[in-house]
């Protein structure tokens, strides 16, 4: 299915928009062997909680950075947020960010980088969480007009993981989301333009985490679960930590 790509010029400079905080405690309900992200009320960036022996998820500046990122991720019902005092009137509909990476030699994902965007829609009935591929090309924000995947309250409450993949392929970023939630098979792909097709994929990259914003900060505490080996190997594959993959349910909260 074709998707209209929206491009918006960057309004203000943001340095490394999705940097993770210092490692902290595991969020409630974190599946065994997984790490967690927690965004506190009034914050943009998440702290990372890691169980004993876990080294992932990837975070910070890594050189050489490689050409892809793949991780298993569980969004929880804490992502059902409502902004009552937005910094700007339309902030409820800003795209928040899932883990991604900068590109083209930049530290700043808001200038050049690829990630997934997510937001909770309060203007639909029923309300849903939308996920889109999201890329910045020399400060221009790019994402499709329609969501790649939508998740309901029941989907979030199911506590089941999806696998997210971002890969650099010459002049484009290729995105994929795969898994099963509440018996619904999800296999979606998309592509967005890359601003530096001649740049080597091995250039250094800033690997960012779970992030709220947009402009406003989180109106309430939010947490999510992630499984990503720190060496970048695909979760559940040789070289990973041996935990389950994206098609198997995690324990319920």
Report residue 136 as tokens.
């910045």
If one counts every other C-beta atom within 10 angstroms of the C-beta of residue 242, the result is 11
* 98 found inside a domain: yes
- Kindly indicate the confidence band of residue 238, based on its pLDDT and cuts at 50, 70 and 90: very low
Please, are residues 194 and 103 in contact by the beta-carbon 8 Å criterion?
Answer: yes
Report residue 199 as tokens.
């740049």
Which of helix, strand or coil describes residue 77? helix
pTM of the predicted protein model? 0.86
Residue 216's domain spans which residues?
Answer: 5-227
If one counts every other C-beta atom within 10 angstroms of the C-beta of residue 223, the result is 23
User: Looking at the 3D structure of the chain, how many domains does it have?
Assistant: 1
* 15 found inside a domain: yes
* 237 found inside a domain: no
* 236 found inside a domain: no
Strands (E) in 105-228, as ranges, are 113-121, 128-137, 140-144, 149-151, 162-169, 172-181, 184-193, 205-208, 222-227
Kindly report, residue by residue over 95-149, the tens digit of the pLDDT: 999 999 999 999 999 999 999 999 999 999 999 999 999 999 999 999 999 999 9
* 251 found inside a domain: no
Kindly report, residue by residue over 184-233, the tens digit of the pLDDT: 999 999 999 999 999 999 999 999 999 999 899 999 999 999 999 988 78
Supply the CATH number for residue 45's domain: 2.60.120
Q: Which residue blocks in the chain are alpha helix, DSSP H?
A: 153-157
If one counts every other C-beta atom within 10 angstroms of the C-beta of residue 78, the result is 18
């Amino acid at each position: 299915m074709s998707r209209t790509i929206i491009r918006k010029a960057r309004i203000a400079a943001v340095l490394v928009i999705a940097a993770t905080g210092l490692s902290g405690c595991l969020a409630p309900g974190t599946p065994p062997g997984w790490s967690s992200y927690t965004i506190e009320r009034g914050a943009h960036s998440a702290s990372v909680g890691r169980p004993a022996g876990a080294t992932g998820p990837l975070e910070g500046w890594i050189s050489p950075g490689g050409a892809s990122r793949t991780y298993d991720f569980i969004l929880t019902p804490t992502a059902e947020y409502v902004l009552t005092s937005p910094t700007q009137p339309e902030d409820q509909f800003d795209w928040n960010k899932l883990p991604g990476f900068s590109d083209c030699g930049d530290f700043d994902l808001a200038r050049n980088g690829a990630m997934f965007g997510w937001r909770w829609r309060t203007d639909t009935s029923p309300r849903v969480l939308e996920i889109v591929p999201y890329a910045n090309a020399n400060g221009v924000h790019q994402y499709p007009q329609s969501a790649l995947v939508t998740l309901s309250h029941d989907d979030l409450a199911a506590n089941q993981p999806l696998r997210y993949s971002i890969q650099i392929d010459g002049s484009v970023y290729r995105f994929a989301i795969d898994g099963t939630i509440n018996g619904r098979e999800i296999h979606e792909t998309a592509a967005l333009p890359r601003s530096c097709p001649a740049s080597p994929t091995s250039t250094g990259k800033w690997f960012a985490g779970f992030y709220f914003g947009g402009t406003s900060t989180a109106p309430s505490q939010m947490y999510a679960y992630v499984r990503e080996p720190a060496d970048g190997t695909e979760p559940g594959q040789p070289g990973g930590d041996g935990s389950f993959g994206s098609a198997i349910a995690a324990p319920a909260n």
